[in-house]
Amino acid sequence: MDTENLHYFEKAPIAKAVAHFAVPMMLGTSMSVIYSILNAYFLGTLHNTSMLTALALTLPLFAIIMALGNLIGMGSGTFISRLLGEKRYDDAKHVSSFAFYSSLLLGILVILIGLPMIDSIVGSLGATPESFAYTKDYVTVMLIGSPVVVLFFTLENIVRSEGSAITSMVGMILSVVVNIVLDALAIFVLHWGVIGVATATVLSNLVACAFYTHHLGLKSSFLTVSIRWFKISKEILSNVFKIGVPVFVMSVFLGAMSLIFNYFLIEYGDSAVAAYGISSRLMQFPEFILMGLCEGVVPLIAFSFTANILRMKQTIGFTIKAIVAMAIVFGMVVYIVSDHLIGLFTTDPQLIAMGSYILHVTFLSLFITGVTTLVIGIFQATGQGTAAMIMSVIQGVTLIPVLFVANQLNGFHGVIWSLVIADAVAFLVGAGLLYGLRHRLQPDIESLVH
């Protein structure tokens, strides 16, 4: 690890250290949301609601492919940070090489399993007769490109794990810029529609993967993608998967929740699905910024857990204060300009009204989801696999029955409000688990959960 990264891990003031790790991640994730929003914007210029519906329906599939990347990337990344805190540098190289090649293997398996089942997959996503062909086009491209997408999320995690937060950010922004250029080319010049948007996503991830691979191969001091460092051991597998599996399960549950949520929304028409697709992408901007903050500090928490417990506690306390401040600011902005934000994507008055309403409701849980994400990050960073697994399933387990009851009691409004209820339950469970594990982490961390 170079001297600069080591300084931020060990000696820099907490606010400066958090900024070093979190700000690049926040910028990178916010840029990724921007290109997700632009995907919808570019398709919106074609004035085809079925295309927007297809884009919304494929979110669960993308969540699952992303989950495979996080399975390896988050599990390997937190383990690498702990190894660096213990100064086990050769072991960190073994883990990074393992992460690289296992990600490619997982992506190839997705192709082999997914393509023969493509019609069943499209049908299970809830595609209507009008949106079926568009949804199938998107799914086909994403399945073929899945090795690249899985590898992208893995590499972003392990690059960040060694403290190279700026390099991680540059890779994410590079992906976004390439995606925007290719989106415009595909929609306005080549007229490829949904296929063009999906292809642009895969190719932009490929460019970022090449950038990350170059960094790990030539510039990283203690990480590598060389096959000669590839190693499978009980220690690697147990430490990667005890954190990676809960992350994967959480992502799959999020995808399943999105799928189930879409099934309920379809009952209220394509406009409801399209409105949720637009509003959820707008909601992703503040959510992903807070996620970038929480995930950005995970390497710092993981390193400090094995090197300096007091510094870990100070990092957590500062991050909570930052979450509160940002949630307040974002909430104020959204409640003032929500109609104008939805209006950027459509001129349909019904879509604007429904999308604005969804934004108002879901923003109520922004602070809750921010702190919940931080709590999950603490469990991941400190190797608390059981607690991470509980958190990975609790929201999905809660949302499903709440959806059924809320839909029966209050129709469309109940479906939307079920998201807030599920988030609140996950927050309470996470706070309880953190309190219960306070002695395992550090006795005086108790003060953080009062």
Can you give the pLDDT at residue 110?
Answer: 94
Can you give the pLDDT at residue 141?
Answer: 92
Can you give the pLDDT at residue 440?
Answer: 64
Can you give the pLDDT at residue 396?
Answer: 67
Q: What percent of the chain has pLDDT over 70?
A: 93
Please provide the size of the chain in residues.
450
Q: What is the pTM of this model?
A: 0.73
Query: Can you give the C-alpha Rg of the chain in angstroms?
Result: 21
DSSP state of 186: I
For 33, 79, 205, 209, the CA distances from 151, given in Å and listed in that order, are 19, 18, 9, 7
- pLDDT under 70 in the chain at which residues? 1-5, 32-33, 35-36, 47, 254-255, 395-396, 439-450
Q: Which two tokens stand for residue 114?
A: 């997914």
Those residues whose C-beta lies under 8 Å from the C-beta of residue 38, and which sit 6 or more positions away, are 179, 180, 183
Can you give the pLDDT at residue 254?
Answer: 67
Can you give the pLDDT at residue 210?
Answer: 96
Can you give the pLDDT at residue 108?
Answer: 95
Can you give the pLDDT at residue 24?
Answer: 82
Q: Which two tokens stand for residue 23?
A: 């700000």
Quick check: 340 and 352 in contact, CB under 8 A? no
| Widest CA span in the chain | 61
Q: Which two tokens stand for residue 119?
A: 């019609």
**Cα-to-chain-centroid distance, residue 216:** 22
